[in-house]
Amino acid sequence: MRRKLLWLVMVLLLAGCTSGYEPGSYGSRRVGSPVEYARAAIPGWVRAEQEGLVVPLDGAFDIPGTGARIKLEAVWYSPLHTYLLYTTAGDRPFMATFIRTGWGTGMGDWGPNPYHHGYGAFSGEGFHQVMLLPPVERPLSADTLAVEVEKWYAMTPDKRDLAEPGTHVGPVAFELPVREEYLDPAPEQFALDREGTWLGRTLRVDRLEVSVGQARLHGSIALLPGEHEPGLGAELVFGDSVREMVGYVRGPNGSFVATFEPPDGWPAPVSLKLYGIQFKTEEVLEAVIPWGQFGGQEAVVKPADLLVMPFYDGAYRLHRVDPRGVSFEIMRPDRLPRVTPANAIPAAEFIGPDGETVTDMQRGGGHIGEGKDGVSYQFADEASPAMRAADEITVRFIHPPALLEFAETWSLVAP
């Protein structure tokens, strides 16, 4: 399961989006103080405190139209985010959302996901949470930063929802102090010389940077002809603490810079836990679906190998048919290393006997029923009646992404 979650994060990173928050009952976590919550929830906060980068705040404001009051506790100007720790007190807890700043848009409904602490935590002082604001860039142009929380959501203790409809209120505006000495200092640099090759594809790492607010790994990936845009699936381990990849930037000639969450304890031994390499291909897979055989009924395909499209060491296998479309199971051999379809949804074309082609349709990936993982396409919703009544429909997967999976751990920095 952890491997699947890691590759989901990798797909989102490569797509240029984020995973968002994970809903859950808030208030299940109790802490002794707001800073206890921040230390547990935010990677690197402990070290940032030790280095004097967590800036105490003393602002307090009423939330309009409520009996609640917000207290700004502290801010950390990490290169990943500006973390603003706050407390709300009153008859009901409130969470900041729809946040605007002078340097970008922030998030208030922040879990944070990797630590599964719900939406925040309670202490005797109130409800504690973190506003996730954009990082501040150098050079600074002012010594204060303007923030406006346009809406506050009232939390609902007995529900898993963020708030009941109509409970949002606001706005509240304030300023944060900022100085050059509050920003992340220059990172420590470690030259590396590690290289590995799996099934003809090579990963090399040559430099690690560790600062208070982030860790960045520099390297390169060499693929086979017809393969391009590689992405690395990996975690950094500082001592016993695992840190997830939160950014990935490709450069020329297969080079990359992968950004990871920072450690709390430093110095520490550093290792790289490797899961694989995802990449795009120039392949076009094609097969004919015996659509009329199923009579417009929902059915699990039998025999199981009725339609199989091989792809490297794995395959896409037609698994389920229903009146709206089809689902393909992703098949993978039980061995490592292996190259198989990636946990992503390939572009597809569905073509009827008269050439009618459907490319714009609802699609999905993940669990497809009967304990299977794969991809689904509801092409019939967009097809003509004649195409839906056809005996055969051709499917094409255009340039499906592939996943080279392996499992290795490299020591990067010795204790």
Banded model confidence at residue 83, pLDDT cuts 50, 70, 90: very high
- The answer to whether 390 touches 372, Cβ cutoff 8 Å, is no
For every residue of 106-128, DSSP letters joined together read EB-----GGGT-TT-EEETTEEE
Domain boundary among 182, 210, 233: 182
Is 231 inside a domain boundary?
A: yes
CB-based contacts of 296, cutoff 8 Å, min separation 6: 323, 388
Say how far apart CA 24 and CA 117 lie, in whole Å: 9
96 and 201 in a common domain: no
Domain boundary among 182, 211, 230: 182
177 and 198 in a common domain: no
217 and 146 in a common domain: no
Q: What is the pLDDT of residue 165?
A: 52
Radius of gyration of the chain (CA): 25
173 and 58 in a common domain: yes
Q: What is the pLDDT of residues 168-202, one digit of tens each?
A: 787 899 999 999 999 999 999 999 999 999 999 99
250 and 165 in a common domain: no
Q: Which of 352, 342, 334, 360 is nearest to 391 (CA)?
A: 352
Q: Are strands 325-331 and 347-351 parallel, antiparallel or unpaired?
A: unpaired
137 and 154 in a common domain: yes
Is 330 inside a domain boundary?
A: yes
Is 1 inside a domain boundary?
A: no
Percent of the chain with pLDDT over 90: 73
374 and 305 in a common domain: yes
Domain boundary among 139, 155, 182: 182
CB-based contacts of 87, cutoff 8 Å, min separation 6: 34, 70, 71, 73, 125, 126, 127, 128
Say how far apart CA 51 and CA 213 lie, in whole Å: 11
pTM: 0.87
Q: Which of 77, 41, 16 is nearest to 211 (CA)?
A: 77
Q: What is the pLDDT of residue 167?
A: 67
Q: What is the pLDDT of residue 365?
A: 94
Q: What is the pLDDT of residue 157?
A: 52
Is 10 inside a domain boundary?
A: no
Q: What is the pLDDT of residue 24?
A: 36
Say how far apart CA 222 and CA 62 lie, in whole Å: 56
254 and 313 in a common domain: no
Tokens linked to 319:
């698994």
Is 130 inside a domain boundary?
A: yes
Work out the widest C-alpha separation in the chain, in whole angstroms.
71
319 and 259 in a common domain: no
Residue type, 139: P
Give the total number of structural domains in the chain: 3
84 and 151 in a common domain: yes
Angle 125-131-135 from CA coordinates, rounded to 5°: 140
Q: What is the pLDDT of residue 5?
A: 42
CB-based contacts of 146, cutoff 8 Å, min separation 6: 101, 102, 173, 175
CB-based contacts of 157, cutoff 8 Å, min separation 6: 26, 27
Is 7 inside a domain boundary?
A: no
Q: What is the pLDDT of residues 262-305, one digit of tens each?
A: 999 999 999 999 999 999 999 999 999 999 999 889 999 999 99
Q: What is the pLDDT of residues 210-220, one digit of tens each?
A: 999 999 999 99
Banded model confidence at residue 153, pLDDT cuts 50, 70, 90: confident
84 CB neighbour count, 10 Å cutoff: 27
Per the structure, the complete domain to which residue 253 belongs is given by: 188-281+405-413
243 and 171 in a common domain: no
262 and 114 in a common domain: no
Q: What is the pLDDT of residue 198?
A: 98
